[in-house]
Amino acid sequence: MIKIIETERLILRELMISDAEPFFNLNANSEVMRYTGDQPFSSISDAELFLKNYTDYKKNGFGRWAVILKESNEFVGWCGLKLNEEEFIDLGFRFFQKDWGKGYATEAAKASLKYGFKNLNLTNIIGRASIDNKASVRVLEKIGMIFWKNDSCKGIENSVYYKINKTQYNSL
| Residue ranges per structural domain of the chain | 3-170
Q: What is the pLDDT of residue 112?
A: 98
C-alpha gyration radius of the chain? 15
Which pTM value belongs to this model? 0.96
Q: What is the pLDDT of residue 154?
A: 81
Q: What percent of the chain has pLDDT over 70?
A: 100
Q: What is the 3-state secondary structure (H, E, C) of 44-70?
A: HHHHHHHHHCCCHHHHHCCCEEEEEEC
Contacts of 18 (CB under 8 A, 6+ apart): none
- Going by pLDDT thresholds of 50, 70 and 90, the confidence category of residue 160 is very high
pLDDT in tens, 17-29: 999 999 999 999 9
The mean predicted confidence, pLDDT, of the chain is: 96
Q: Which helix (H) or strand (E) holds 165?
A: strand 156-165
Q: What is the pLDDT of residue 155?
A: 79
User: What fold, for 3-170?
Assistant: Aminopeptidase (3.40.630)
Q: What is the pLDDT of residue 162?
A: 98
pLDDT in tens, 40-76: 999 999 999 999 999 999 999 999 999 999 999 999 9
- Going by pLDDT thresholds of 50, 70 and 90, the confidence category of residue 157 is confident
- Going by pLDDT thresholds of 50, 70 and 90, the confidence category of residue 117 is very high
Are residues 7 and 104 in contact, defined by beta-carbon separation less than 8 angstroms? no
Q: What are phi and psi of 116, to 5 degrees?
A: -60, -45
The mean pLDDT value for 104-113 works out to: 98
Longest dimension (CA), the chain: 45
Q: What are phi and psi of 121, to 5 degrees?
A: 55, 40
